[in-house]
Structure 1
Amino acid sequence: MIKREHIKALESVIKRDHENITGMIIQQDGQMVYEGYADGYQANSAVHVASVTKSVFSILIGIAIDKGYLQSIDQRVLDFFPDYKVLPGEETIQKITIRHLLTMTAPYKYETEPYEKFFTCENPVDAALDLLGGHKPIGVFHYAAIGGPQILSGILTNVTKQHILDFANQHLFLPLGINVPKDITLRSQAEHIAVMNDKLTRGWVADPQGINTASWGLFLTPSDMMKIGQLYLDGGLWQGDQLVSASWIDESTREQSRCTQWGDIGYGYLWWLIDENSFAAMGDGGNVIYVNVKSKSVIAITASFMPNAQDRIALIKKVIEPMLDVIE
C-alpha cells in the first residue's frame, strides 16, 4: 500500500488544485493501491469521460480489424459510404483513409470546428463528411474533436451491420465487466446539461440516427477506466481471453503523428503518448486513463466538467508516480 502520509499529501493536492476530480483509482502490478471519491460520487457513479471515448473507440476499430470487419486502416473513407456524392473538383476527400482519421491527420474545410453544427444536425456523419477534405494537405496533425471520429462511427456501423453499443458490449464492455446499459438521446441543450451533471447517468450518447458518438458521450466509472487501462497494459489479454490483439495495442500507442497545437506531444490511434514509457486517454475536464508500462501502473481519474481544469498529467508525474516508487 501507499504510505498514509503520501495519501494525505495526494488528497491535499487534489482538494487544493483539482477540486473537480470525482474519483481516482491507482493500480500497480495488477493490485489496487489507492481508491478515492469526492463530491458525493461513489464507486458505482459513472461520469461523462468526454474525449476518453475516442481512445475506447480506437479499441473497437482494432477489434473490428481483428475480426475481419475491416481489412486495413489504409482503406479509403469513401469506400464505406458508396452513396455519398462528392462535389465536382473535390479530390482530397477521395484520398483520405481510416488511418488519417485515427491519427488526426485528415484535413477539413474549416479553421474552427463547427461544434454547434454537429450537435444540432440530424445526421452528424454526413455533416462531418461534408467538411472532410478541402485544400489543406493530408498528413498534417489537426485535432478534430467531433467530426473525424464520428465518421469512424459511421464506418463501424456500416461494416459490422450492428448497433455500436451492441458491438461494444459483445466484444469489449461485457467481457471486462463494464456496464454501459443504454443509448442516451439528447434532444435539447437543457437535457444535455442535466445529463452531464446527473450522478446516476449510465450509457453512451447516440446521434439522431442512433449511431453512438465516437468522440464523446460515454459514461464510465473509475473502475471501468481502470479495466481498459489494464487491458492495454496486458497487451489486450483479459482473464485468459484476447479481447483485442497485442499488435493493435502496440500500433495504437506508438507515435503515428505529432501534435504541436498544445505543446509538443505524440499521438497514436486516438491515444496520447506522454513519454517513452506512458500513454493516456484524455478527456475534457481532466478525465484520464494513464498507463505506464515501465512501472506497470494504471491510473484512472474521473472528473466533472470544469473549464481550464488543472493538468492531470502534471499531477500524475509530479505527485502520484513518485509515490509509486515508495510503495511499502
Structure 2
Amino acid sequence: MDQKKITQLEQIIDSEYSNTVCIAVQKNGKPLYENYFNGYAANNATHVYSVTKSVFSALIGIAIDKGYIKSIDQTVLEFFPDCLISEGEETIQHVTIRDMLTMTAPYKYDSEPYEAFFMSENWMNFALAQLGGKEKTGEFVYSAIVGTHILSGVLAKAAGGSILDFAAENFFSPLGITVPGNVELRTKEEHIAAMTDKNTSGWAADPQGINPAGWGLFLTPSDMTKIGQLYLDGGKWYGKQVVPAWWVAESTRTQSRWGDLSYGFLWWIIDEKEHIYAAMGDGGNVIYINTRKNMVISIAALFAPDAKDRIGLITEYIEPLFAD
C-alpha cells in the first residue's frame, strides 16, 4: 500500500467527509485497510439507516427459502386480513411483496409523513392506511420509512414472532454478529440521542415491538463487512448457505429504475454490467460490493444533512488505491 496516498485519502475524509466514523476495505476475503474517526473504535456500533433495508432483504429471502413466505408475488393484504379498505379502493388489494421490495408500490401521500408516523400509536396501521391511492403500481416511489414498515409486518406475521429473534437465529448468529436487543425510542429526543451515541446497539422497534425494515439497525463496521462478504460469496459463510444464492442474484440485479438509478430488492445497483451494488443509508453509510474486483468496502458514518456521496469517494479514491 502507498502510505502517502493513504495519508492523502485520510486528509480528504477529514476535510470533505468529516462525519465518517470508519472505513474498512476487504479484497479476496482479506482485510486491507481499516481506520476509525471521530472517537469511534471497532466495538462501537453505528446506526446505519437505510442499510437496514438491504439486511431486511436478506431476511425476506431466508423466509421464502424456509417456507414462511410462499412467494414475493403474494399480496400484502394476505398478511393483513383485518385491514380495513375504503369503498372503491382497489389499488391496495393488488400490491405485492415484490412491489414493496422494488419500491414500486403506490401511496396516498405526496410527501412521506414521517412525523405523523412516529407520533402514531400503531405504526403498522398508519403505514397500511397510506398504501394504495390513485397512482398505478409499478412506478418507482422510494419509501424511506413509512411504506417500508409494511414489510416488517409481513415478516412478523409470516414468522409468527419477533423479527429480531428470526434475524438472530437465521442471519446474525451464523455470521457472528450480535444485535443485543430492541432499542426503544419513545420520544424525538431519545431518537436523536440514540443516533449519536456510540454506545447504542441493537435494533429500533415500534410501539408493538416490531423492528423496522427500513432503518433502526445498529452495526459495527466489522458487521457491515461480513454482510458484504456474505453477498460477494453468493450468500455463503464459511461454506454454509445463509442466504439462498438465487435470492442474492435476484436481489442484486435491476428490478426497477428511478431515472438513471437502478434498484434490486432493497439494494442499489451501481453497475449491473460489472455487478457492483451497494446497501446505502443516510449520512454516507455504505456496504459496497464489487464482484469483478472481489472487493467489499464498508463505510460507517454519523447522520449529516446533505452528506456528500460516498459512492464517489469509493470509486474516485478508495477503490483505485486498493484494487490492485
TM-score category of the 2 structures, normalised to the smaller one: over 0.9
1:183 corresponds in structure 2 to 182
Superposition pairs for residues 81-100 of structure 1, below 5 Å?
81-100=80-99
Task: Report what 2:320 is aligned to.
Answer: 322
Alignment of 1:60-209 (within 5 A): 60-209=59-208
SS at match of 1:274: strand
3-state SS of the aligned residue for 1:289?
A: strand
Match of 1:250 in 2: 249
Instruction: Give how far 1:197 is off.
Output: 1.1
Aligned to 1:272: 268
Post-superposition offset of 1:295: 0.2
Q: Secondary structure at the match of 2:134?
A: coil
CA distance, structure 2, for counterparts of residue 93 and residue 254 of structure 1: 26
Whole-Å Cα distance in 2 between the matches of residues 207 and 126 of structure 1? 11
CA-to-aligned-CA distance 1:176-209 (integer Å, 9 cap, x gap): 1111001011111111111111110000000001
Q: SS of the residue aligned with 1:178? A: coil
Task: Map Cα deviations across residues 119-146 of structure 1 (whole Å, 9 max, x no partner).
Answer: 1111111111101001001101010111
Inter-partner Cα distance in structure 1 for 2:235 and 2:161: 23
AA aligned opposite 2:236: L
TM-score normalised according to structure 2 size? 0.98
Match of 1:291 in 2: 289
1: distance between equivalents of 2:117 and 2:59? 22
Q: What is the deviation of 1:325?
A: 3.3
SS in 1 for 2:279: strand
**CA positional deviation for 1:239:** 1.1
Question: Which residue number in structure 1 is paired with residue 304 of structure 2?
Answer: 306
* Range 118-127 or range 63-72, more displaced: 118-127
In the superposition, the TM-score normalised over structure 1's length comes to: 0.97
Larger mean CA deviation between 139-148 and 91-100 belongs to 139-148
TM-aligned CA deviation for residue 269 of structure 1: 0.3
Q: Using the alignment, how far apart are the partners of 2:211 and 2:278 within structure 1?
A: 22
Q: Give distance in 1, aligned partners of 2:163 and 2:290.
A: 29
Structure 1 residue identity aligned to 2:279:
A
Q: Distance in 2 between matches of 1:148 and 1:57?
A: 14
Query: Contact conserved, 2:53 with 2:215, CA < 8 A, in 1?
Result: yes
Runs of 4+ in 1 over 3 A off after TM superposition: none
Q: Distance in 1 between matches of 2:148 and 2:164?
A: 15
Q: 2:139 is paired with a residue of what secondary structure?
A: coil
Give the Å deviation of 1:109: 0.3
Q: Aligned with 1:285: secondary structure?
A: helix
Q: In 1, Cα distance between the equivalents of 2:323 and 2:140?
A: 35
Separation (CA, whole Å) in 1 of partners of 2:49 and 2:119 = 18
Distance in 1, Cα, partners of 2:76 & 2:216: 23
Equivalent pairs, count: 322
Contact persistence 2:130–2:147 (CA under 8 A): no
Report the AA paired with residue 193 of structure 1.
Answer: I
Matches for 1:32-51 after TM superposition, within 5 Å: 32-51=31-50
**Please, which runs of 5 or more residues in structure 1 have no aligned partner?**
none
Greater CA deviation, 89-98 or 189-198?
A: 189-198
Distance in 2 between the 1:319 and 1:255 partners?
A: 26
Classify the secondary structure of the residue corresponding to 1:104.
Answer: coil
Partner SS for 2:318: helix
Question: Per-residue deviation at 1:162?
Answer: 1.8
Percent of residue pairs bearing the same amino acid type: 58
| CA RMSD in angstroms, aligned pairs only | 0.8
Matched position secondary structure for 1:148:
coil
Q: In the alignment, is the contact (CA less than 8 A) between 2:19 and 2:302 conserved in 1? A: yes
Secondary structure at 2:278 match in 1: strand
Query: SS of the residue aligned with 1:280?
Result: strand
CA distance in structure 2 between the partners assigned to 1:162 and 1:10 by the alignment: 45
